[in-house]
Amino acid sequence: MPRRIPFKIPRDEKLKTALVATTGALMRTSKSPDEALGELFGEVQQNRIYDDGKTFVDLVPRARMKSIQQEYKLAREDPNFDLREFVSRHFYEFAPHKEKENFKTDPHRTVSEHIHLLWDVLERRNRLNRGSLIALPHPYIVPGGRFSEQFYWDSYFIMLGLAADHRWKMIEGMMKNYTFMIRKFGYIPTANRTYFLSRSQPPFFSHMVRLLASHKGRTRTFAEYLPYMLREYRFWMKGRIKLSKAEHKAFARVVQLPNGMYLNRYYDNKMTPRPESLTEDIETAKNKPDRESDRLYLHLRAGAESGWDFSSRWFLDPKDIGTIHTADIIPVDLNCLLYQLESTIAESYWLIKNPLLARKFQNLADRRAKAIQAYCWDEKEQFFVDYNFHHSQPTGQLSLAAVFPLYARIATKQQADAVAKRLERDFLKTGGLVATLTTNGQQWDAPNGWAPLHWMAIEALRNYGYHDLANDIKRRWVKVNMKVFTEKHKLIEKYSVESTNGLGGGGEYPLQDGFGWTNGVLAALLAEH
């Protein structure tokens, strides 16, 4: 693959970027559409004016939302009032990228060449706040399909492919967008949308720092991004001093366990239906009249923060989303990512010659590793699991999150042996690894396989010398990607690793193509040759 020829950024482009980076961090962010539009929002979503609830929250109002709301209250009194017409008159779609959607796959091109061209199709630039879309100073790559924002954990796996394609300028720009959001919000939200500001996603920022450091140099890069890693760490650990008085000794995203150890959970700062999935969340609550709806909404939102939305990992009854209880669970993958964040902060302090703080964060990482061993290793199953701290026992749901302790090098050799055997025996299918062993119609369960989980599993197994198994998983995953690409001329969000056609399904929305992290992981795996 030829290197992309660097280009000189025009001076006015640099000025616009600098303006957003400086003033944008100070500007007040508008309210989420559900808060700003009140009854109008609920009517539009519950009447399914759009098939996909995300469509409306992404539209841009033609006037101030307060004015639109007031006009709606008057207009709806008219017996001939047409809600669909009212919405189309007062909102519009901001989608300059749609002119790129005439992109057609050339069957004579290799998949690597296809991905190389797709980066331009998936590139966005937005330097103005438009409805729920939050301005960012630099261009970015989006997942594709219904997702036209810079999503947090997707971006790491997208960056792997950008690195394979030598697009370091794009990677660095996306990193600068994250430092911008950390300065503005104190953390990295799910994506740059106002309705995502109550939650984050799996914390892969330190992994992005390490990836960029492989190109720019370790000391320079770690020192530059250390303040932002510290801000992210404070976000996840916020509330530690309040734990002694909190129910179940849990506050926000932190949990104190009986032996004094601290671990983390997924959470959300709101207890209302997700705006982009309002109808689905209300329906889930209606089907569970015995549960407090606000608590149920919190658990659904926390499940969305996990990135695994949704999975039997979070359900008391693996077949019933109404039993979701995400915020009662200590996820093994989240805590491994935070262990790596603590370790990267410690390494950064060593590099800038601050041994006192380096030792402090290394001690925090070591304590977390011991806590993961104590609470997330299931001796009976011989597998790493999530832990229900409300019930003081493992959740009983086995998933590919078990590879994260191997990825983070926390597992012992004996534990790694057991995990590798279980993966090969139970999780490995024709097209790769299933996310869980449960088939229930949710997208993060069987028979689906996902690009990010395959990357983590392959790297995790290599860390402990299981190269044959890692290469077998890689071969099967690449094969199912190539099968769909050959037959459908596209790369998709998720794949069925058990079916003959390879097309994934399930969840709250149709199968998406594009697709950012599939492109990224496939490009990185192919580049290994």
H and E: helices and strands count for the chain? 20, 16
* CB environment 445-473: b (16+ within 10 A), e (fewer): bbbbbbbbbbbbbbebbbbbebeebbebb
Q: What CA–CA distances, in Å, run from 493 to 9, 241, 300, 513?
A: 32, 40, 21, 6
Alpha-carbon gap, residue 303 to 153, rounded angstroms = 14
Catalytic residue among 309, 333, 378, 508: 309
Distance CA 432, CA 329 (A): 27
Both tokens assigned to 349 = 């302090």
Handedness of CA 33, 38, 44, 48 (dihedral sign): positive
| 134 vs 148: CA distance, rounded Å | 12
Pull the structure tokens for residue 264: 């983390």
The closest alpha carbon to 507, from 460, 462, 442, belongs to: 442
What sign has the CA pseudo-torsion 125, 208, 313, 291?
A: negative
| Rounded distance between C-alpha atoms, residue 101 and residue 122, angstroms | 10
Exposed/middle/buried for residue 156 (C-beta within 10 Å: 0-12, 13-18, 19+): buried
Q: Residue written as tokens 């960056």?
A: 159
Q: Tokens representing 414?
A: 């004996």
| 493 tagged catalytic | yes
Residues 326, 266 contacting (CB under 8 angstroms): yes
Alpha-carbon distance of 448 to 230, in angstroms, equals 35
DSSP state letters, 326-347: GGGEE-HHHHHHHHHHHHHHHH
Which is catalytic among the residues 58, 333, 347, 493? 493
Residue 31 CA to residue 41 CA, distance in Å, equals 13
Of 70, 49, 67, residue with least CA distance to 59:
49
DSSP string, 229-284: HHHHHHHHHTTGGGGGGSGGGEETTEEE-TTS-EEE----S--S--GGGHHHHHHH
| Known active-site residue 309 | yes
Single-letter residue type at 358 = A
Residues with catalytic roles: 309, 493
